[in-house]
Chains A and B, each alone.
Chain A
Amino acid sequence: MLVLFGVNHKSAPLELREKMAFAEPTLGDDLRRMTELPDVDEAMILSTCNRVEILVRADDSRKGLDRVKEFLERERGVSADELQRYTYHYVDRDAARHLFRVASGLDSMVLGEPQILGQVKQAFAAARDAGTVGSILDHLLRNGISAAKRVRTETGISRHAVSIAFAAVELARKIFGDLRGRSALLLGAGKMGALVATHLRNNGVGALTVASRTFNRSAQLAERIGGSACNWDESFTRLTKVDIVVSGTAAPGYVLEKRHVHDAARARRGRPLFLIDIAVPRDVEPAVNDLDNVYLYDVDDLQGVVDDNLEERQRAADEAMQIVEQEVQAFDRWLESLKIAPTIVALREALLSVAQQELERHRRRLGPLSPEQDDQLRQLVRGLIQKILHRPIVHLKGAADRGDAPEVAALYRKIFGIAAGVSESAVDEPPSGGPTRVLEGGKD
């Protein structure tokens, strides 16, 4: 049974998430201690700033859940009341679905954000290194990662910017294409302006100049974001040279009027100029947008882009849920196939055993056989068994797909007189090469 237990940004306050968080250096030890608990066979921990989730495989989901709660109470000092009020848990199919949603960014604070997939991969690697991942969790996590990749490529959920700073970068790319080697001017030394400038810088913008009414503030900010500072008065002459202007001053009126930009645009000889006005009240006269080759976006325009992109992500999320559902079904089928694999193996062994006995009984009547003839005879018997078993195996595989594998497997065991209980033991210890190989091959 799979059990997923955890807290996230929606269910629990930051204080509790901090208390429950697992630090990377000791994660391996924590995982090993968890699998040493009775009833817990496999474990993986995903611990990020927005969520702490513990995924375990246990024979009994109730007991597994209790062990995890006891572990958190003992090791993290979380009270029973907190565990009751702020946590959630999922079992089996629901646990798989939740994990796939998390890996795809569908449960993230920013819908569709791609970083979570990297964090899931890291958590998987840590659990593998600690030796706490067995065949079931390994398969589940691989399916989860593959689901997340499908969601990203097939829906494009994380394609569009959902922050004002990223929207500005996206728009700059529509004008200039590659931003490498472009130059920018930041008017004002406020936080938002600095954030937009930093994003531009991280996306290739080369020379970055900061200008504010107080030179010292400009110099400090310039040093922090890797640019240079200039005097406020000098900044206007730079309009003829730079490609992008980010304006975020606290001035009560327009800092850049149409006439300023008009003169600069003439001197620029048609080179495009992108103005990002993130100030409220606005710094740039709106009529500036009427000038040829000048593109002005204010906060509302940028917010409009972000809102549209968020809507787009929501649409993609609906599509993504279908992909997640397909992957959950695929995992479920695999899990079901584990239940029939031992029956198939036992069925084949039972028939082979009967065939072997009959072969030995009749061989004496055939007289002495050469090694080649003996080999031919054995192959004939094995071939017959394969052919006889073909339809039952197909039927059993179909049962795994339909979800009634345990009932069908029990029926076959009854018909062929196979001892009960083989199925359960084989789930604990899948045959070498994995049950999928047995199912797909259907041959020794």
Chain B
Amino acid sequence: METVLFSLSLVAYTAGIVLAIVGNVRRSRPARSASTAFYALACALQLGGIVAYSVHRHTFLLSNRFEYLLTLGWLVLALHLVVQARFRIQLLGLVLPPLAFVMTVIALRMPSHAAPQTLLQQKDFLLFHTALATLGMAAFFVAAAMSLIYVLQDVALKRKWTMKWLDRLPSLEKTDRAGLEALLWGFPLFTLGILSGAGLAATEHHRFWIGGAKGIFPVIAWVIFAVVLGARLARGFRGRKAAYLTMAGFLFGMLTIVGINL
């Protein structure tokens, strides 16, 4: 069942991406609307697949790369729909959903073997930890995409580039606002994810710090995001440097995946 749903979601993703390209290149409003509809369909189908998978396996702990990437992909797509509804940044349809698509495809090519044995009483806590961290990363995904668009627009304005495709980029102000909002949502979730991860490590390994990719990269990412967000809120730090730092934080966050299920 879940295989069919995931496959159908990939078809809907593909249709959405193709229509987003057509809509942005030809400035066709109907194509862009149809693209959003297909993305919404892909989102619903992928969620259905995740639910079917959980029911079939009687568990969903986000404890292996398959589950993590699948959920992160779905969350990125869902957040894209939220951001689209709120900020109407059409170009985002060419950034976030394709990335979510790639994550889903990679996940579906991975073996969905069972998570390592976990004590029954720790299962709920593990789900709590991974869900928060994944939600936080999905928000950072949006923030990083916004930062990328910001840098492009900033460089284009500074260097006086006049290529016509640049006209499709949203304004600096809008991109900055959307990026900050994503950071404000992502940071508390990611922080709680890290704290719950430390608690989980303490109960499993009797220490808060487990080291390795799973331990180091999220902390580096957290520090970067803390600096960016603190400077943004306290000192109005923004612009290209803030965008670069946000992207760096996101990359370190993504490196955490390397440590999952190792």
Contact = CB atoms under 8 A, between A and B. Distances in A.
A295 B153 CA distance: 11
A439 B105 CA distance: 55
B170 interface: yes
B113 interface: no
Contacts, number: 52
Interface string B158-170: 1010101001011
Contact of A308 (B27, B162, B241): B162
B207 interface: no
Nearest to A159: B167
Nearest to B156: A174
A15 to B, nearest CB: 39
B244 to A, nearest CB: 11
B180 to A, nearest CB: 11
A295 to B, nearest CB: 5
B160 A304 contact: yes
Interface in A335-378: none
B223 interface: no
A270 B238 contact: yes
B239 interface: yes
B105 to A, nearest CB: 34
Contact of A175 (B172, B235, B240, B242): B172
B161 to A, nearest CB: 10
B242 to A, nearest CB: 8
Q: How large is the interface on A (under 10, 10 to 19, 20 to 34, 35 or more residues)?
A: 20 to 34
Interface string A286-302: 00010011010100010
28 contacts: A156-B27, A174-B153, A174-B169, A174-B171, A174-B172, A175-B171, A175-B172, A175-B173, A176-B171, A177-B171, A177-B173, A177-B174, A268-B236, A269-B236, A269-B237, A270-B236, A270-B237, A270-B242, A271-B238, A272-B173, A289-B158, A292-B239, A292-B240, A292-B241, A293-B238, A301-B160, A304-B162, A305-B162
Given A268-B236, A269-B236, 17 more contacts: A174-B153, A174-B169, A175-B157, A175-B172, A176-B172, A177-B170, A269-B235, A270-B235, A270-B236, A270-B238, A270-B239, A270-B242, A271-B236, A272-B172, A292-B239, A292-B241, A308-B162
Nearest to A309: B162
Q: How large is the interface on B (under 10, 10 to 19, 20 to 34, 35 or more residues)?
A: 20 to 34
A269 B231 CA distance: 10
Interface of B: 27, 153, 157-158, 160, 162, 164, 167, 169-174, 235-242
A312 B164 CA distance: 9
Interface in A148-175: 156, 160, 171, 173-175
Pairs of residues from A and B, 10 with the lowest C-beta to C-beta distance, nearest first: A269-B236, A177-B171, A270-B238, A308-B162, A270-B236, A293-B239, A177-B173, A177-B174, A292-B239, A176-B173
Contacts of B171: 173-177
B164 A295 contact: no
Contacts of A272: 172-173, 239
Contact of B157 (A268, A270, A295): A295
Contacts of A175: 157, 171-173
A170 to B, nearest CB: 9
A271 B171 CA distance: 13
Interface in A85-121: none
Nearest to A167: B162
Interface string A239-273: 00000000000000000000000000000111110
A271 B162 CA distance: 23
Contacts of B236: 268-271
Nearest to B170: A177
Contacts of B162: 304-305, 308
A308 B163 CA distance: 9
Nearest to A295: B157
A269 B173 CA distance: 14
A292 B160 CA distance: 15
B48 to A, nearest CB: 37
Nearest to A182: B173
A293 B242 CA distance: 11
Contacts of A301: 160
A167 B174 CA distance: 20
Contacts of B167: 160
Contacts of B235: 269-270
B41 to A, nearest CB: 28
